[in-house]
């Protein structure tokens, strides 16, 4: 019994230990199966099938149960959230995948799609740029990016990217049948043709040719889906307001004619004579201090919109007072009268979308009256005589970034002439410009920043009327906007010089816009200096002006400009009014009288 008792005592613990080992063994056998059940990861092909069948619940469940990290799991989990239109969760899933798998372009692709659904086009573009850094030839990203720019109305940026994949194809070119211009002449302005791909170069060059025709106060080329064609085919449609005859309508013609009445000037203008883009521009000023008559005629050369010729005549009778700008102590020169007549002509050409050039010839004669004795000895510019000049100009677009809506343009202009007077001979002028324009918003021109830099130099003895003036004056195109070029109606109040440097910076902001009017406010900062000899003309120091202009655009592209300026050197306040035309000449001096204006 004792022996039996010992056996039972020993056998009890051994039996318990054996049963415990069996239980643990069975639990360990069950664990992999349970883990596998909780970590049931589907392969990529199965996940894709669920996505193709739009089984978003099963797809979300499958990606949630999978505990093994993978790019596919992150990607299809985001797709499941997107399928339910749970955009923020989809964005978070794709962003997580992009952070973990930076070289997988599927994640920025889907993030772009989510941003597009949420109307966040700028964010979508950032993700598409990320794709193109990974794969510059990704057709989906290129087409998506171009489409976003197209929806924003930025056709140049859209064409830049579409052209990389052979798009867009043009089905036909349509124009307003009510346009009066000769259809054959208008057709020659197009550098593209139906049944071909529209390139950015063709688009830009065509717009430049429309501008050079000079018969449209506004114009636009649009891509419209072609009826009955595929999604990659468009019609190219021209929308334009035509200045036919005296103007697009009676009201616009009247406003254009009398826009200069506040400063005793009218602008008779006739456009598109004989439907041939033959234009006549003129102005007549009866101001007793500065009378002027100007007329020009211009048209496409040999009915080719690439070239344009023009002839002009310009006569002036002006009273000058340079007591504040001519600092010659020996012979003070104050008031005098200048009569001048000038005849000239030239040709300009659009070589391509970036470059245009022009050249011309002119002859002129000038006569001074009421000059004090010895004035011409004090400075030879006060000399009567005739002159002949040859002029040339080149404009080139240095930089265009349509995605950023930024342009940087340049211009160089020179003239070589001969002044037929004793002690005179050959002379020359050279000018250069840089102009930057930036539209920071994705669409429209509600906010616009402009910076323009000009420089000019003369060589030899130039006539008085070839000196540069820095200031606001109706016949001047180098604005220093707190320096008015006249005093009591007489010219000569703004700095004059043989050489100059000038910078104009301004920001344009729309205040009110409707179908008839557009009001803009333009704060500005100008700085510049006119250079000359130690005694005579010149500004002596750098000039700084600031202020703002209110620009009211009305019918026919006419703008009424009211300017307030403050001279930061003297503290003087100035007020000025003038008019301009939309799409008209820039402030930069042009080869022949403001492009025939």
Q: Is the pLDDT of residue 86 over 90?
A: yes
Phi-psi region for residue 44, left (φ > 0), alpha (ψ -120 to 50) or beta?
alpha
22 falls within a domain: no
What would the pLDDT profile of 446-499 be if each residue is shown by its tens digit?
A: 999 999 999 999 999 999 999 999 999 999 999 999 999 999 999 999 999 999
- What is the pLDDT, as a whole number, of residue 377? 66
Q: Is the pLDDT of residue 27 over 60?
A: no
- What is the pLDDT, as a whole number, of residue 544? 97
What would the pLDDT profile of 258-282 be if each residue is shown by its tens digit?
A: 999 999 999 999 999 999 999 999 9
Compute and round to an integer the Cα radius of gyration of the chain.
Answer: 37
18 falls within a domain: no
Q: Is the pLDDT of residue 26 over 70?
A: no
**80 Cβ contact list (under 8 Å, min separation 6):** 51, 56, 57, 59, 60, 63
* SS3 per-residue string spanning 228-259: CCCCCEEEEEEEEEECCECCCCHHHHHHHHHC
62 falls within a domain: yes
**Structure tokens given for 117:** 């659904």
Q: Is the pLDDT of residue 29 over 60?
A: no
pLDDT band for position 39 (cuts 50, 70, 90): low
In this structure, are 126 and 231 located in the same domain? Answer: no
204 falls within a domain: yes
Given 194, 223, 242, the domain boundary residue is 242
**Strand ordering across the sheet containing 196-197:** 196-197, 169-174, 233-242, 216-225
Q: Which residue carries 């906010």 as its tokens? A: 447
Q: Which residue carries 């101001």 as its tokens? A: 287
What would the pLDDT profile of 255-264 be if each residue is shown by its tens digit?
A: 989 999 999 9
Share of the chain above pLDDT 70, in %: 89
- What is the pLDDT, as a whole number, of residue 17? 42
Q: Is the pLDDT of residue 94 over 70?
A: yes
Q: How many CA atoms lie within 13 A of 70 on its CB side?
A: 16
Given 223, 242, 261, the domain boundary residue is 242
Q: Which residue carries 């002596």 as its tokens? A: 540
In this structure, are 213 and 294 located in the same domain? Answer: no
- What is the pLDDT, as a whole number, of residue 44? 85
- What is the pLDDT, as a whole number, of residue 43? 85
596 falls within a domain: no
- What is the pLDDT, as a whole number, of residue 40? 65
- What is the pLDDT, as a whole number, of residue 379? 76
Domain holding 345: CATH number? 2.40.160.50
- What is the pLDDT, as a whole number, of residue 329? 65
Q: Is the pLDDT of residue 36 over 50?
A: no
In this structure, are 296 and 401 located in the same domain? Answer: yes
367-379 in b/e form (b: 16+ CB < 10 A) is ebeebeeebbebb
Mean pLDDT of the chain: 88
Q: Are strands 233-242 and 169-174 parallel, antiparallel or unpaired?
A: parallel
In this structure, are 501 and 364 located in the same domain? Answer: yes
In this prediction, residues 552-566 reach a mean pLDDT of: 90
Q: Which residue has the higher pLDDT, 7 or 590?
A: 590
Of 533, 526, 524, which is closest to residue 569 (Cα–Cα)? 526
What would the pLDDT profile of 296-316 be if each residue is shown by its tens digit?
A: 999 999 999 999 999 999 999
- What is the pLDDT, as a whole number, of residue 535? 67
Q: Is the pLDDT of residue 588 over 90?
A: no
Q: Which DSSP string do the residues of 357-409 spell out, in sequence order?
A: EEEEEEEEEEEEESPPTTHHHH-TTS--EEEEEEEEEEEEEEEEETTTTEEEE
Domain holding 223: CATH number? 3.10.20.310
**Structure tokens given for 220:** 């636009």
pLDDT band for position 582 (cuts 50, 70, 90): low
Given 132, 165, 198, the domain boundary residue is 165
In this structure, are 522 and 423 located in the same domain? Answer: yes
10 falls within a domain: no
Q: Is the pLDDT of residue 139 over 70?
A: yes
What does residue 484 show for φ and ψ, rounded to 5 degrees? Answer: -85, 135
**Exposure of 76 by Cβ count < 10 A (0-12 exposed, 13-18 middle, 19+ buried)?**
buried
In this structure, are 497 and 457 located in the same domain? Answer: yes
Interaxial angle between packed helices 139-151 and 155-162, expressed in degrees from 0 to 180 and rounded to the nearest 10: 170
Per the structure, the count of domains in the chain is 3
In this structure, are 221 and 120 located in the same domain? Answer: no
Count of C-beta atoms within a 10 Å radius of residue 88: 10
Q: Among 102-106, 434-438, 492-496, 533-537, which is the least confidently predicted range?
A: 533-537
Q: Which residue carries 């979508």 as its tokens? A: 124
597 falls within a domain: no
- What is the pLDDT, as a whole number, of residue 444? 87
Residue 229, domain extent? 169-242
In this structure, are 322 and 402 located in the same domain? Answer: yes
In this structure, are 483 and 435 located in the same domain? Answer: yes
What would the pLDDT profile of 365-411 be if each residue is shown by its tens digit?
A: 999 998 887 777 667 888 999 999 999 999 999 999 999 999 999 99
What would the pLDDT profile of 504-556 be if each residue is shown by its tens digit?
A: 999 999 999 888 889 999 999 999 999 997 767 898 899 999 999 999 998 77
In this structure, are 187 and 145 located in the same domain? Answer: no
Domain holding 114: CATH number? 1.25.40.10
25 falls within a domain: no
In this structure, are 447 and 401 located in the same domain? Answer: yes
In this structure, are 339 and 468 located in the same domain? Answer: yes
Q: Is the pLDDT of residue 13 over 50?
A: no
Q: Which residue has the higher pLDDT, 587 or 212?
A: 212
**Structure tokens given for 65:** 């149960």
């Amino acid at each position: 019994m004792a022996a039996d008792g010992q056996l039972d005592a020993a056998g009890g613990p051994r039996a318990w230990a054996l049963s415990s080992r069996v239980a643990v063994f069975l639990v360990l056998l069950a664990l992999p199966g349970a883990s596998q059940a909780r970590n049931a990861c589907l392969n990529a092909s199965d996940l894709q099938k669920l996505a193709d069948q739009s089984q978003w619940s099963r797809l979300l469940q499958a990606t949630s149960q999978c505990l093994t990290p993978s790019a596919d799991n992150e990607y299809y989990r985001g797709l499941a959230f997107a399928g339910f239109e749970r955009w923020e969760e989809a964005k978070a899933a794709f962003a997580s995948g992009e952070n973990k798998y930076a070289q997988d372009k599927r994640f920025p692709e889907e993030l772009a799609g989510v941003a597009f659904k949420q109307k966040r086009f700028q964010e979508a573009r950032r993700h598409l740029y990320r794709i193109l850094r990974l794969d510059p030839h990704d057709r989906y990203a290129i087409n998506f990016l171009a489409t976003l720019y197209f929806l924003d109305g930025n056709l140049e940026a859209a064409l830049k990217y579409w052209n990389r994949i052979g798009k867009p194809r043009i089905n036909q070119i349509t124009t307003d049948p009510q346009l009066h211009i000769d259809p054959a002449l208008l057709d020659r302005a197009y550098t593209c043709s139906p049944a071909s791909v529209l390139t950015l170069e063709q688009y830009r060059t065509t717009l430049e040719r429309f501008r050079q025709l000079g018969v449209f106060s506004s114009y636009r080329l649009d891509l419209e889906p072609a009826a009955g064609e595929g999604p990659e085919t468009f019609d190219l449609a021209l929308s334009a307001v035509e200045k036919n005859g005296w103007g697009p309508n009676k009201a616009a013609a009247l406003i254009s004619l009398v826009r200069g009445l506040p400063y005793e000037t009218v602008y008779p203008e006739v456009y598109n004579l004989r439907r041939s883009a033959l234009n006549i521009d003129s102005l007549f000023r009866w101001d007793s201090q500065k009378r002027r008559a100007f007329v020009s005629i211009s048209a496409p050369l040999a009915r080719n919109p690439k070239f344009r010729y023009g002839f002009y005549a310009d006569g002036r009778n002006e009273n000058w007072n340079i007591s504040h700008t001519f600092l010659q102590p020996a012979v003070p020169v104050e008031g005098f009268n200048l009569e001048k007549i000038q005849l000239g002509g030239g040709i300009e050409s659009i070589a391509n979308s970036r470059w245009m050039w022009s050249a011309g010839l002119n002859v002129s004669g000038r006569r001074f009256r009421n000059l004090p004795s010895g004035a011409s000895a004090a400075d030879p510019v006060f000399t009567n005589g005739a002159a002949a000049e040859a002029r040339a100009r080149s404009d080139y677009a240095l930089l265009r970034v349509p995605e950023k809506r930024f342009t940087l343009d340049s211009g160089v202009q020179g003239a070589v002439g001969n002044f037929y007077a004793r002690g005179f001979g050959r002379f020359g002028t050279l000018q250069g410009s840089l102009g930057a324009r930036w539209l920071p918003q994705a669409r429209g021109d509600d906010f616009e920043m402009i910076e323009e830099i000009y420089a000019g130099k003369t060589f030899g003895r130039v006539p008085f009327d070839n000196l540069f003036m820095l200031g606001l004056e109706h016949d001047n195109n180098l604005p220093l906007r707190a320096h008015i070029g006249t005093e009591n109606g007489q010219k000569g109040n703004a700095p004059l010089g043989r050489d100059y440097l000038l910078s104009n910076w301004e920001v344009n902001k729309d205040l009110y816009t409707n179908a008839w009017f557009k009001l803009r406010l333009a704060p500005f900062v100008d700085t510049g200096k006119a250079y000359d000899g130690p005694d005579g003309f010149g500004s002596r120091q750098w000039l700084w002006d600031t202020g703002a202009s209110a620009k009211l655009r009305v019918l026919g592209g006419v703008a009424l400009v009211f300017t307030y300026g403050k001279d930061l050197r003297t503290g003087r306040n100035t007020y000025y009014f003038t008019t301009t035309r939309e799409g008209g000449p820039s402030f930069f001096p042009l080869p022949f009288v403001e492009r025939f204006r």
